[in-house]
Amino acid sequence: MMTEFFNYTLNGALLGLLYALVAMGFVVIYRASKVFNMAVGEMIVLGAFLLWWAIQSRGMHPALGIGVALLIAVVVGLLIERLLFRRLIGESVFSMIMVTIGLLILMRGLVLVIWGPQERQFPAIFPLAPLIVFDMIVPRSLAAGGVIAVLAALGLHWFFNHSRSGLAMSAVAEDHQIALSMGISVRRSIAFAWALGGVLSVVTAMVYLSGKSLTFLSSEIGFAALPVALLAGLESIAGLLLAGLIVGIVQGLTSAYIDPLIGGNAAAVVPYIFMLVVLVVRPTGMFGWKRIERV
């Protein structure tokens, strides 16, 4: 009985770290541009189809296919910034959010036009055989994803808080005009954030879909990770790990013990309820920045 409990807890924690990896797509772009990117899920699907095209359709070696997909994803991120968001520098946050909603619809449409709605088998980037540790069964893709999420969070936390470029990106997010007056290139900072978002989308796709079916509906992972991003606070990279663990473990235990009792899918709802309760108490999230504004 205890082994079963620990198994559900461990797999829930690893699922939460996957959510944290997805949520980094929200936070990286927000930290650089104050834009809440609603199209994170679609960017992951695009990255997944690029991987499928390179490895399955073109027969490239997985290492080469991953490199090609990363390069194309970076170019796509730069194009999004150049064609859409560069023109919106200095505009209201609401305007930028509406553009990301339009981007969501556009990217989903492009995926459907180019690859169609049918399911495809995503290449097995990680071995399909699970890890067995003390009678606990763990998917290798989730285990690898947990390690990648921790390393990515540590790297991005250092970048935003200690590197010159990362601090400049944070200044851009605070106020475009003030950043410009300080000699910071707003365009370069936002472009780099979107390029980094493209890289994260490909990495997340490898973890999330390795050996699974791929369709345009796979983008739902973006909304599934939304509670993690809001719970941690949109400025916190390291806080995503704790938020992801909380959401993943609660969801895993709910699925194991509550859903069979009620015959429903409470696990899909509990993270959002938990998120709303926390945000009512602390609207900026657990680790978000508190701001004092003069009126």
Considering the domain 2-126+135-281 in this protein, what is its CATH number? Answer: 1.10.3470
Note the pLDDT of residue 288: 63
The token duo for 8 is 């559900």
- Over range 2-6, report the average pLDDT: 83
**Side-chain half-sphere CA neighbours of 9 within 13 A:** 6
Note the pLDDT of residue 69: 96
CB atoms within 10 A of CB 60: 18
pLDDT band of residue 289 (cuts 50, 70, 90) is low
Q: Are 5 and 173 in contact (CB under 8 A)?
A: no
pLDDT over 80 (residue 203): yes
List, in sequence order, every residue forming a beta bridge with 138; answer none if it has no partner.
Answer: 131
- Over range 173-191, report the average pLDDT: 74
Q: Which range among 119-123, 168-172, 191-195, 230-234 shows the weakest confidence by mean pLDDT?
A: 168-172
pLDDT per residue over 53-68, tens digit each?
Answer: 999 988 899 999 999 9
pLDDT over 50 (residue 95): yes
- What burial letters (b/e) apply to 115-150, b meaning 16+ CB within 10 Å? beeeebebbebbeeeeeeeeebebbbbbbbbbebbe
SS3 string of the chain?
CHHHHHHHHHHHHHHHHHHHHHHHHHHHHHHHHCCCCCCHHHHHHHHHHHHHHHHHHCCCCHHHHHHHHHHHHHHHHHHHHHHHHHHHCCCCHHHHHHHHHHHHHHHHHHHHHHHCCCCEECCCCCCCCCEEECCEEECHHHHHHHHHHHHHHHHHHHHHHHCHHHHHHHHHHHCHHHHHHCCCCHHHHHHHHHHHHHHHHHHHHHHHHCCCEECHHHHHHHHHCHHHHHHHCCCCCCHHHHHHHHHHHHHHHHHHHHHHHHCCCHHHCHHHHHHHHHHHHCCCCCCCCCCCCCC
Note the pLDDT of residue 133: 78
- Over range 189-208, report the average pLDDT: 92
Could you give the CA distance from residue 78 to residue 142 in angstroms, rounded to a whole number? 29
Q: Are 111 and 45 in contact (CB under 8 A)?
A: yes
Could you give the CA distance from residue 295 to residue 273 in angstroms, rounded to a whole number? 33
The token duo for 187 is 């365009």
pLDDT per residue over 101-136, tens digit each?
Answer: 999 999 999 999 999 889 999 999 998 888 887 778
pLDDT over 50 (residue 276): yes
Note the pLDDT of residue 1: 66
pLDDT over 60 (residue 294): no
pLDDT over 70 (residue 290): no
